[in-house]
């Protein structure tokens, strides 16, 4: 059995179920309690779990991230919500220098089972300082696991797995898609971290993406189908560990690959995937791997420039035709 849930409600269910199951799990962050969360992800949780387990913090990301790391090292399982990963930059010392390195620095004596979560990527006209994409930033750090998805069922199952994981996990969501709805199983389930999902089977070309770029990618696949082109769509769901095996198997079938990544092109997730495929599936490629990224500049404010900056279905279709050597 399944029910229809918005992304925010699926995340809420994941946290609530895990807090009912394990009393060491708690939530902390700005406005998560009295205000029910900046995006209403934690709606009703203060009423159920009380102020000792759903904790409003000051506007001090470095401080409350540090409290979370200390709590995790001492037997608790904190969920630290950032209003946006853009604000988490202030907490990078705790995430990168402490949480990610606790296990190795202590020679395995201390674990750090903590989840840092919040929206990443653009959110409309929020301009440069509130529209950055952080998956590749965090995935570059050994010791951190990185989840990035918007499908409600995937998000719920992966967040539950993240909360139970003994390593620090960064969960990237989408501010624009907290209201995005999907079918979510009613029974309890977990989704393993590190496994991509084939959203759509195809045989002419592989389209790989993650987070909210899944939607324009599926739109592009439908448009390509109308022209007789069968596109396979893979949602990474997890950035680190990266499920390159699923991509390799798809490329062996389709012989062509386009990677759609909302972040900047230099040293990003799409660049890593391009490297992996040329290493493990070079002999199967009938065309160079092509990437569709955001423009290599800070996001402008003007709506026309936002449209020009971000990947969209038309850009994905154009890239697919180039890889297929079809004149657009």
pLDDT for the residue numbered 131: 82
pLDDT-derived band at 328 (thresholds 50, 70, 90) equals: low
Contact by Cβ (8 Å): 116, 110: no
Burial class (CB in 10 A: 0-12, 13-18, 19+), 176: middle
**SS3 call for 298:** coil
Q: Which two tokens stand for residue 113?
A: 């089972």
pLDDT for the residue numbered 300: 87
pLDDT for the residue numbered 28: 98
What angle is formed at CA 324 by the lines to CA 320 and CA 326, rounded to 5 degrees?
95
Q: What is the DSSP letter of 106?
A: T
Contact by Cβ (8 Å): 258, 217: no
Averaged pLDDT for residues 205-214: 98
The alpha carbon dihedral of 194, 19, 150, 263 has a sign of negative
- Give the up-direction half-sphere exposure of residue 305: CA atoms within 13 A in the CB hemisphere: 11
pTM: 0.96
Q: Which residues pair with 292 in a beta bridge?
A: 260
pLDDT for the residue numbered 128: 77
| 77-115 confidence digits (pLDDT tens) | 999 999 999 999 999 999 999 999 999 999 999 999 999
pLDDT-derived band at 124 (thresholds 50, 70, 90) equals: confident
Q: Which two tokens stand for residue 14?
A: 């994941």
Collect all residues with Cβ–Cβ distance below 8 Å to 3 and sequence separation of at least 6.
183, 184, 186
Averaged pLDDT for residues 244-262: 98
Q: Which of 130, 173, 232, 262 is catalytic?
A: 130
Q: In this model, does residue 127 exceed pLDDT 90? A: no
Pairing of strands 181-185, 2-6: antiparallel
Averaged pLDDT for residues 253-281: 97
Q: Which of 13, 18, 30, 61 is catalytic?
A: 61
Pairing of strands 25-29, 77-81: parallel
Q: What is the DSSP secondary-structure string of 253-293?
A: HHS-EEEEESS-STTSHHHHHHHHHHHHSGGG-SS--EEEE
Contact by Cβ (8 Å): 278, 244: no
Q: In this model, does residue 320 exceed pLDDT 90? A: yes
pLDDT-derived band at 141 (thresholds 50, 70, 90) equals: very high
pLDDT for the residue numbered 238: 98
For residues 325 and 287, give the distance between their C-alpha atoms in angstroms, rounded to a whole number: 8
Contact by Cβ (8 Å): 174, 7: yes
Averaged pLDDT for residues 259-276: 96
What angle is formed at CA 305 by the lines to CA 215 and CA 321, rounded to 5 degrees?
50
Pairing of strands 231-235, 197-200: antiparallel
61 is a catalytic site residue: yes
Mean pLDDT estimate for the chain: 96
225 is a catalytic site residue: no
Q: In this model, does residue 223 exceed pLDDT 90? A: yes
Averaged pLDDT for residues 279-294: 97
Using alpha carbons, list the distances in angstroms from residue 173 to 85, 116, 179, 237, 264.
Answer: 9, 11, 12, 11, 18
Pairing of strands 145-148, 238-240: antiparallel
Give first-to-last CA distance, the chain, whole Å. 43
| 224-252 confidence digits (pLDDT tens) | 999 999 999 999 999 999 999 999 999 99
Instruction: State the DSSP H helix or E strand holding residue 46, giving kind and residue range, or none if neither.
Output: helix 45-49
- In this structure, of 17-21, 130-134, 141-145, 286-290, the range with the lowest mean pLDDT score is 130-134
Q: In this model, does residue 129 exceed pLDDT 90? A: no
């Amino acid at each position: 059995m399944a029910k229809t849930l918005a992304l925010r409600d699926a995340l809420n269910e994941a946290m609530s179920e895990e807090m009912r199951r394990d009393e060491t799990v708690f939530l902390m962050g700005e406005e998560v309690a009295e205000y029910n969360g900046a995006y209403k992800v934690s709606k009703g949780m203060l009423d159920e779990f009380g102020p000792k387990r759903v904790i409003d913090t000051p506007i001090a990301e470095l401080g409350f991230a540090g409290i979370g790391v200390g709590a995790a090292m001492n037997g608790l399982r904190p969920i630290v919500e950032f209003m946006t990963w853009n604000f988490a930059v202030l907490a990078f010392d705790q995430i990168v220098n402490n949480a990610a390195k606790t296990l190795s620095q202590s020679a395995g004596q201390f674990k750090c089972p903590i989840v840092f979560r919040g929206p990443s990527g653009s959110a409309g006209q929020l301009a440069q300082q509130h529209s950055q994409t952080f998956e590749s930033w965090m995935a570059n750090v050994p010791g951190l696991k990185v989840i990035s998805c918007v499908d409600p069922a995937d998000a719920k199952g992966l967040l539950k797995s993240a909360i139970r994981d003994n390593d620090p996990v960064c969960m990237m969501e989408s501010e624009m898609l907290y209201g995005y709805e999907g079918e979510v199983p009613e029974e309890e389930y977990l989704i393993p971290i590190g496994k991509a999902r084939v959203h759509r089977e195809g045989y002419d070309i592989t389209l790989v993406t993650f987070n909210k770029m899944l939607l324009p990618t599926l739109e592009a696949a439908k448009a390509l189908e109308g022209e007789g082109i069968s596109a396979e769509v893979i949602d990474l769901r997890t950035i680190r560990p990266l499920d390159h095996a699923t991509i390799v198997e798809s490329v062996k079938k389709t012989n062509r690959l386009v990677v759609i990544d909302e972040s900047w092109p230099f040293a990003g997730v799409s660049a890593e995937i391009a490297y992996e495929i040329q290493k493990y599936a070079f002999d199967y490629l009938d065309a160079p791997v092509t990437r569709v990224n955001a423009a290599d500049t800070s996001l402008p404010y003007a709506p026309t420039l936002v449209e020009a900056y971000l990947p969209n279905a038309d850009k994905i279709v154009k890239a697919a035709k180039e890889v297929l050597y079809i004149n657009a």
